[in-house]
Amino acid sequence: MAQTSFILSIIVLLIAIIGFLYTYSLGRRQKLQEQYDAPVNEKIQEHPYIRNPVLLAYVLAGLLALGMIIYLALNRG
């Protein structure tokens, strides 16, 4: 279990670092363009919840956590 936690911690740390660097680069690029607000794409307007990456990340994290809880409950019982 300790090895699994260590590997998952490394993966989470890598995702956080990559996400921070990506967000920082997007912010710099947007600052250079001086365009902070752009029109919303029609496909996104039609499906605002499905095309929302933050919402999808929360749903995916919840499903992964639920899967881990179920897996641990079945293996420890």
| Per-residue pLDDT at 12 | 92
Among 17, 1, 8, 24, CA closest to 61: 8
Question: What sign has the CA pseudo-torsion 34, 40, 44, 49?
Answer: positive
Ordered by start, the domain boundaries in the chain are 1-38, 41-77
Mean pLDDT across the stretch 31-42? 70
List C-alpha distances in Å: 63 to 15, 24, 26, 33, 53: 18, 28, 28, 37, 15
pLDDT at 44 over 80: no
User: What would the two tokens of residue 40 be?
Assistant: 């919303």
Q: Long-range contacts made by residues 34-39, C-beta under 8 angstroms, separation at least 24?
A: none
Stated pTM of the model: 0.44
